[in-house]
Structure 1
């Protein structure tokens, strides 16, 4: 079963330099029916003006990853990491016992469009760590490419949770099928374009909780970019802190 939440039902944050859409409760946006799904707690769809961004701020006990759609995102943290994240790059910061970071639009003239996603870790107080890898468009074209997993399978980034994240690009006749293990949940987020999933049309910004499905088939894409989360069958989600 696909429980669909349309893009225009998401929370909104308009701050001049930042335009944000919240798939789940975040910051000043709270909906008791949208407090994460399993261990997936936050999906923020952010557009940041040139030269602006988020100053240094702390996190702990959270798996935080950024996925850039357009432009470039500049990252710095108290682990000594400094990097620029561009389309195709996936950045995963495990906050663990505590880390502070900043994120800015790397460009002084062009906006950056990216998604920041939070997954609750299975253990608390672990040593903070940073990972970043590039996954080419060819690797995701007509395919669901594993980008995050608990064990780093298929050269993916390692997350401290029983969760797997796939990224795919679909256009025209391209199609892919993801088998879901028994008693697993999934979450689908369409980052851009549109695509049919198990016969249901989803468009940019749409999300879908998935329960009691054995497979997901993606087809009939129109410049679609999607993220798919394979999650524990856990209905007890809680607000980040």
Structure 2
């Protein structure tokens, strides 16, 4: 199951898993056009593909999503917590509603989606949870304080849950991308984009497919001893 599968990174992960023969459950919230495209591509790869819609900032909708999956006899043993939103602005300009939306989209969704898949993973003595974090979860970013705070929580959640689930054969890791050019950067000027590129030793942003490859690596049997790690994919930036 990939949350936020209609987005730039989520769609790349979904297609990558499908290319390697992994059945996928594609979650999306609003972007029906994009999820339809991702669904078609995944089906063309020959895997079972399911689409489910819901707002993961609301616990009631998370409950609804997993009840629906249960009714379809679908119990994910791989969960990619990718859903989330960007937020830019000075900390003193963020009101409670905006702050809560950022926190819920990253933290509430990651916590409770993970909670829902864990019982079946424990029964199977197998599971893979990969959280999509950010370098800002470690470094912090001016003008992205709420986002940095949320990703910092995801990182700590990853480390703590990994310890809790390791005896059950379940690994929990996070991928922390640097900058991946995506619609999240729509408010950046060209000058700001060039400045950011110049700060990165490799001189470019990451490709979504590179993030997807890193996720795939964590699902491989040879990665079964890797857990509780925050893996930066940032071109040497951090």
Give the structure with the larger strand fraction: 1
What TM-score do the two structures reach when normalised by structure 1? Answer: 0.32
Q: Taking structure 2 as the reference length, what is the TM-score of the superposition?
A: 0.32
Greater share of residues in helix: 2
